[in-house]
């Protein structure tokens, strides 16, 4: 893997020359089920859909250029970008690493209430780029959804990267109760088939042919989250690529807290 060239100093501390430093700690306080999903949730016999199924939320910068792109590089924070969608400018000064579970209702809340504002106010102007990572843990269906997400990205990243954002948003819009069956493979493929730019048949084939590689990519996402003390979703690490300062934010926090955290990291 190539390593990204970030401006400024390298990361050094007592643990070695390449280790990262968490500057803010957990900005939003301890992990809490009030703001995020932090444990295996009880299954429910009910299933409900919310929102529309094919609306793309701000997947371009306004002039027709996609905000999503693929890269095989590794960030100076240690995040392997191969296989993971990146939203925003490749030279944005701040990275935001975003872990989610498609069954987590708090992830849905973040996606629908806060993410659009972050895209408009920070990603589109080129100040922040978001790396989409998987952390499936609520149930086996979460793993299925994560594997499908990896394959959707594999199938669209070269020619139609914006299609991933449409798929990603649609899955959260169509989210049902945890472990209710809404995220079983057949239903996810049915939803996928209705997303513009995504071929459900090709995605299903990818899940079979690239099973080991997809699982390895998910395992890498999970391992990185665990190394940084992340136990639930949604979870975020904000990383300044110049100063190598970083901070952790957890839960479906309001936009105002993200704004404060981004400013604090950038000015640290």
CA terminus-to-terminus distance, the chain: 30
Domains of the chain with bracketed CATH = 2-37+65-267 (3.40.30.10)
What's the pLDDT score for residue 59? 53
The set of residues, in sequence order, having a beta carbon less than 8 Å from that of 136 and lying 6+ positions away, is 101, 102, 103, 142, 143, 145, 146, 218, 222
pLDDT higher than 70, residue 86:
yes
Residue 260 has pLDDT above 90, yes or no: yes
Task: Report pLDDT digits (tens) over 6-19.
Answer: 332 222 222 333 33
Kindly report, residue by residue over 161-220, the tens digit of the pLDDT. 999 999 999 999 999 999 999 999 999 999 999 999 999 999 999 999 999 999 999 999
Name the pTM for this structure: 0.79
Cα gap 1→173, rounded to integer Å:
35
CA 151 – CA 204 distance, rounded (Å) = 8
Mean pLDDT of the chain: 81
Give CA–CA dist 139/54, Å, rounded: 25
């Amino acid at each position: 893997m190539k390593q990204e060239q970030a401006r400024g100093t390298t990361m050094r501390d007592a643990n070695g020359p390449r280790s990262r430093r968490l500057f803010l700690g957990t900005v939003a306080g301890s992990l809490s089920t009030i703001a995020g999903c932090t444990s295996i949730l009880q299954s429910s016999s009910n299933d409900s859909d919310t929102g529309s199924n094919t609306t793309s939320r701000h997947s371009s910068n306004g002039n027709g250029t996609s905000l999503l792109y693929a890269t095989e590089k590794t960030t100076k924070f240690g995040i392997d970008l191969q296989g993971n969608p990146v939203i925003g400018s490749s030279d944005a000064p701040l990275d935001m690493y975003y872990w989610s579970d498609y069954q987590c209702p708090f992830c849905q809340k973040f996606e629908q209430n806060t993410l659009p504002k972050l895209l408009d106010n920070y990603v589109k102007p080129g100040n922040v780029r978001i790396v989409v990572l998987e952390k499936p843990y609520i149930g086996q269906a979460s793993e299925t959804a994560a594997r499908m997400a990896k394959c959707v990205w594999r199938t669209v990243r070269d020619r139609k990267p914006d299609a991933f954002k449409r798929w990603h948003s649609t899955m959260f819009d169509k989210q049902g109760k945890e472990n209710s069956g809404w995220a079983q493979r057949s239903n996810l493929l049915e939803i996928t088939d209705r997303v513009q730019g995504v071929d459900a048949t090709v995605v299903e084939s990818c899940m079979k042919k690239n099973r080991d590689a997809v699982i390895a990519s998910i395992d890498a996402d999970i391992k990185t989250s665990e190394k940084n003390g992340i136990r639930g979703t949604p979870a975020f690490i904000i990383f300044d690529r110049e100063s190598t300062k970083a901070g952790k934010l957890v839960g479906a926090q309001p936009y105002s807290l993200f704004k404060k955290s981004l400013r604090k990291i950038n000015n640290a």
